[in-house]
Structure 1
Amino acid sequence: MTNNKGPVLVIGATGQQGRATTEQLLKRGWEVHAFVRNLNAPAAMALQTQGANLIEGDLDDAGSIRAAMEGAYGVFMMLTMMTGIHITAEGIAAEQRWGKRVADIAKELGVAHLVYSSLRGAGGNTGVEYYAAKEAIEAHISQLELPATVLRPTFFMDNLNAFNRPVLDEKGELVVNLPVRSDIPISLISTHDIGAFAALAFDRPGQFLGRTIPLAGDYLTPPQIAEIIGRHAGLPARSNQVPLEQVRAFDKYVAQMFTHFDENPDGPLDIPALRTEHPGLMDLDAWLRSVAWKPLLP
């Protein structure tokens, strides 16, 4: 375990994973520098209230990244390809550009530990376009021989409080809408636990440097997800497979990913081994309780 407690520069600090990582690092006594576009944004000010130091910058401005990273022990990097609520070609290209730029500057400045949150599926030559950007960033980190840990999280449990939040139908039944066949299990992870693994990586560099770690806390089919949510809410529940055509009409890149997943389901991860490293790793039931989950009313 390292005695060095930072600073760690958190890139993507106001996103779900960045907030979780900042919280976990601060709890462990790390100095956190949060890289934000707007110092006065409510999400940025909330990080400051928790104890993070805010550093204003722009991922398209190499100078601001360099200034923010100067003197940092470590960097946590989470990037998004989203433009608003959609994935776009421009967003995918920007993510790849940003990731490579951050890695180059980390190499230049001799950062001791980069933790990059990618996604499961990267490195699998899936043909999914937004996976390719993350694959390229991972490859660039490797080519630079950066001291790094790559996390590959799976489907966010937190999506069940957002994009995939179950709704009550006219019969009072909870409906879990997912574009996945009912017989295909899905690996799930909470963003809280992604942050915990990121913080553990910085705490234990000897154990985590050089590793690529897929992350999951549960492995469930859509009907099993519905059953657990229904039991938690005390309501009847069922899963519903959203047609891929409907997903494609909303976002072709997301449909591309689910088409691949439908044809090439992910196998289970070694969740007990992950829980040995992080005993607090939550399954779906524990996550529902942790966020006091409630259904979305019609």
Structure 2
Amino acid sequence: MSADNGPVLVIGATGRQGTATAAALLERGRSVRAFVRNPDAPQARRLRDAGAELTVGDLDGEESLRTAMDGAHGVFLMLTMMDGVHISLAAVADEERRGKAVADLAAKAGVAHLVYSSLHGVGAGSGIEYYDAKEHIEDHIRALGLPATVLRPVSFMDNFATYNRPARDGDHLVLALPVPPDLPMPLIAIRDIGRFAALAFDRPDEFLGRTLALAGDIPTPTRIAETLARAAGLLPRAVQVPVEQIRAFDEQVGKMFAFFNSRPAPAIDVPGLRAALPDLMTLDAWLTATDWPL
């Protein structure tokens, strides 16, 4: 672990990735400055109780961002394209604008290390608007010459406890995904995104200037269903949901799965990632660590 040479500002601190990053930094003895809108919100209070300093502001408030960066050694940046439970083009445009603004302010403040959490598949010519917005933020960071690390996580294992929670049908666990049952589906635990961010801040000589795709396991939906069913004491069943059904609910997510199903995911060096983070979680390890409930 490197010496703490100043706080790391965590933007998106009350979100899942921001919370994981703050926790990983605090575990390593780093000072954390959490950027929050409401310091009395439950997650903000939990961050404060864990040892983070809270700084209050808004991503559309340049002065509050400038104040938050004052004296910060590093910045972790994670932005959302969500508008409620959907991805809207207006929210995507806001994300791009905010990401570029944070990068501009970090450059002016002389931040020593920016870690930006982007998305695996960015730069692959998907034509998906929210992928393009993240690519534009990445490009802007590079154009500014910012000392930075870009993380590109894949689908979250944690979604099997929320958005992609399987159902029970008698003695079967039914996993419904808009992905062919035999197509490899890279997965990462959100906790490990935070731990890689903390690792990047601790080992800048190793991580500065790098773009890192993050996955801890690359199972097929069939194997995911088998793994989850085994944990639940049930029989597995993987069902492919039509992409059009997803597109009817959310156009952007539908485009994402159509792209994912038609183009093999860019290769991810999981052994190399595990060399850097030896306890990088597989799906089995994540189930054990989270005491996953059906």
Residues in 1 aligned to 2:6 and 2:202: alpha-carbon distance in whole angstroms = 10
C-alpha contact 2:189 2:286 (8 A) present in aligned 1: yes
Q: Match for residue 111 of structure 2?
A: 111
Deviations 1:24-64 (A, max 9, x none): 00010111000011111111111111111111100011111
Residues 2 and 205, structure 1, Cα contact 8 Å, conserved in 2: no
Q: Which amino acid aligns with 2:125?
A: N
In structure 2, what is the equivalent of residue 247 of structure 1? 246
Tell me whether 1:59 sits opposite 2:59 in the alignment. Answer: yes
Which residue pairs with 2:260 in the alignment?
261
Say which is worse superposed, 137-146 or 118-127, in terms of deviation: 118-127
Match in the other structure for 2:154: 154
CA distance in 1, matches of 2:63, 2:181: 49
Letter in 1 for 2:222: P
Cα distance, 1:209 vs structure 2: 0.2
Q: Which deviates further from its counterpart, 105-114 or 119-128?
A: 119-128
Superposition pairs for residues 15-54 of structure 1, below 5 Å? 15-54=15-54
Aligned to 1:291: 290
Unaligned runs of 5+ residues in structure 2 are none
Output the CA distance in 1 between the equivalents of 2:106 and 2:264. Answer: 35
- Distance, in Å, in 1 between the alignment partners of 2:142 and 2:194 is 22
| 1:133 match | 133
What percentage of residue pairs aligned between the two structures are identical?
Answer: 57
Alpha-carbon separation, structure 2, partners of 1:12 and 1:294 = 27
Q: 1:151: Cα distance to partner? A: 0.2
**SS of residue matched to 2:258:** helix
Matched ranges for 1:63-212 at <5 A: 63-169=63-169, 171-212=170-211
> 1:224 corresponds to which residue?
223
The DSSP-based 3-state class of the residue aligned with 2:186 is: strand
TM-score, reference length from structure 2: 0.98
Is the contact between residue 117 and residue 153 of structure 1 (CA under 8 Å) also seen in structure 2? yes
The code of the aligned residue for 2:205 comes to: G
2:121 touches 2:266 (CA, 8 Å); kept in 1?
no
- CA deviations 1:168-200 (Å, max 9, x no partner) are 12x231111111011210000000000000000
Shifted more, 261-270 versus 108-117: the winner is: 261-270
1:77-106 CA distance string (max 9 Å, x none): 000000111100111001001100000000
Opposite residue 269 of structure 2, the aligned amino acid is D
Query: What code does the residue aligned with 2:259 have?
Result: H
Give the aligned residue type for 1:242: V
| Cα deviation code 1:121-167 (max 9, x no counterpart) | 11112111110010000000000000000000001001101100111
Tell whether the 8 Å contact from 2:4 to 2:31 is kept in structure 1 after alignment. no
Structure 1 runs (4+) greater than 6 angstroms displaced: none
CA displacement at 1:268 relative to structure 2 = 4.0
Query: Could you tell me how far 1:5 is from its partner in structure 2?
Result: 3.9
Following the alignment from structure 1 to structure 2, what is the Cα–Cα distance between the partners of residues 5 and 16? 25
Q: Return the alpha-carbon distance in structure 2 between the equivalents of residues 5 and 153 of structure 1.
A: 27
Three-state SS of the structure 1 residue aligned to 2:187 is strand
Counterpart for residue 234 of structure 1: 233
Distance change (3 Å), C-alpha of 1:119 and 1:227: same
Measured in 2, the distance between the counterparts of 1:37 and 1:231 equals 41
